[in-house]
Every structure is written in C-alpha cells, then in structure tokens.
Amino acid sequence: LINNIKNGVLSLFFPTPCASCGRYIKDFTYLYVCPECYGKTQKLEGHLCSVCMKPLQAGYLNRCGDCEREKRHFTCVAPAGVYQGAIKELIHRLKFYNRKKIAALLAEFILENVMDSAVRWADVIVPVPLSKKVLGERGYNQTALIGKILADRYGIEFSEPVRKARETEPQNKLERKERLTNLKGAYKMEEGVSVSGKKVLVVDDVYTTGTTLNEMAIVLIESGAKEVRGIMAARSV
C-alpha cells in the first residue's frame, strides 16, 4: 500500500508514459514500462531449435537452418523471453539512456524465466565485452551489470576474460551476410587469464543471429574452455 501511494504521488509530479503502451505509469516496479506490459512479455514456446531456440515450423526438425548452415561453437542458449514489447524497451533504455537500474530488472527477468539449472551449470559467467570507445561513451557494460547479478545470486565466478579488440558496425544495421563477417576476429582473450577446462556461460542482452556469441565461443574454446553456452534477456524471433 505504501508503495502504491508513493507511486501514485510520484506519478502526479513526474508523469511518465510507459515506453511500450504510452499510458501513464502508476506503478514504477518496472521502471519505464507499466506492470501490464511487463506481464505481457512472451516466452519462447512451441517447438524450438535445440541450439539457438529459434521457433521451428516443422516438428520433425531438431535444428534451424541457421544452425545447420553455420558452425556453432556454443552448445545452446537460454533466452528469458521474446525480444518485443516491454523487454525490448527496457533493453533499449539500458543501452542508450544510462539506466543501470534496468540491469537489475533484466537480471530478475532472467532469473524468473530461465531454469535454475541453466545458470548453475556454469563454472564462470562472462559478459560480452564492449570496445574501448563504446565503453568510454556509455560508461558501463550493460551485459557485465546483468552478469554480475546472476553470478552473485548463484555464487558463481564472474570474469571478463575477453576483450573487444576493434570497433565494429552495430550488428542490427547490417545485412545478414555482413553480420557474419563484421565480427570476425573482433574478440581476443585478455593476457594472463584462463578459462581452461571451464564451462563458460556468456551473458548478452539480446540474441539476434548468434554471431556475437559464436565469435565469443571461438576464442573461449580456443583458449581451453570446456564448453560455451549463452544466456540472455531476450531473443528476436
């Protein structure tokens, strides 16, 4: 009740429209989106690719066309929901509006929607690194914020053994073909860190084509990781 009153009073002075539906938010539990929109986030359901969780039309298939064509260096992924609506808006604000609190919200979203065992599996949790330039502009790595929360919750090691060695074009601005080559060799291991023999869980905000995770997996496996999997707040479908 206290929270409701607080939220009600706050909304009188700071009317904020929900980033997803545009109605004024009365309950700020989910920050920039209203609880109704947050509650409507779709889960990945139905028959899915066993590697990348892409929804599949044909029930007899085990893998999607992408995973058949392109060699996957990661084993599987666990996205918490579909990249749309409230979650899409929250991820967008986390990246571009300097809203660190959203990281905690997205970590909770992952913890609520991904099976415990998907996180417990890991020996070490690793975020997707940003280039120096982007990190400098943004001031924080959003996937590291999420990853740290997950690691702390389960008492798993958190580490940043991979660096982004060069600038790349934003993946979402490229054609599929360009996406595949854009990140080639962009990730390198930091000097003197080891993931040898470890099960590595890579944290990202969104899974789109799998190129980022695949490039990360290549360098991690090369440097001795036993297996690489991915976990993310959402997957585009």
**How many chain residues touch Zn ion (CB under 5 A)?**
11
Report the SS3 class of residue 153: helix
Q: Which of 64, 102, 114, 150 binds Zn ion (CB under 5 A)?
A: 64
Q: Is 212 in the site for Zn ion (CB under 5 A)?
A: no
Find the binding residues for Zn ion in span 95-134 (CB under 5 A): none
Q: Positive or negative, the Cα torsion across 187, 191, 197, 203?
A: negative
Residue 146, phi then psi, degrees to nearest 5: -65, -45
Taking CB under 5 A as the binding criterion, the range among 37-45, 99-107, 123-131, 199-207 that sits at the site for Zn ion is 37-45
Q: Which residue, 56 or 189, has its beta carbon nearer to Zn ion?
A: 56
Q: Is 143 in the site for Zn ion (CB under 5 A)?
A: no
Q: Is 229 in the site for Zn ion (CB under 5 A)?
A: no
Closest CA to 205 of 114, 97, 121, 128: 128
Question: Residue written as tokens 């990246």?
Answer: 95
Under DSSP, the state recorded for 52 is T
Q: Which residue, 33 or 80, has its beta carbon nearer to Zn ion?
A: 33
Q: Which two tokens stand for residue 8?
A: 């009600």
Q: Is 220 in the site for Zn ion (CB under 5 A)?
A: no
Burial class (CB in 10 A: 0-12, 13-18, 19+), 61: middle
Q: Which residue, 34 or 90, has its beta carbon nearer to Zn ion?
A: 34
Residues in contact with Zn ion by CB under 5 A are 18, 20-21, 34, 37, 49, 51-52, 54, 64, 67
